[in-house]
Amino acid sequence: MLKYGNSTQRCKIEGKQDEQATYYQEQITTQQEQITTQQEQIAVQREQLTTLRDHINKLNDQLASYQIDDLLDEA
């Protein structure tokens, strides 16, 4: 009888451990998916920043060109 009780307790403990392991594995999977999503968002933002930087550089070049033209016109 004592042996049966210990066996039952072991089964309950192992069952709880399995539940906890499943829960934590699901949490890890969710976090990994969130990290992947964030990495994808960062990649998109990098592309947007690169595009913005290129546009700013073009505007700066145009501004410098206009300033030179203005100086030449004044001379």
| pLDDT at residue 72, as a whole number | 76
21 Ramachandran zone, left/alpha/beta (phi>0; psi -120 to 50): alpha
Task: Tell me the pLDDT of the chain (75 aa) as tens digits.
Answer: 445 557 777 777 888 888 999 999 999 999 999 999 999 999 999 999 999 999 999 999 999 888 887 777 776
Cα separation, 5 vs 10, whole angstroms: 9
Q: Does the reported pTM lie above 0.75?
A: no
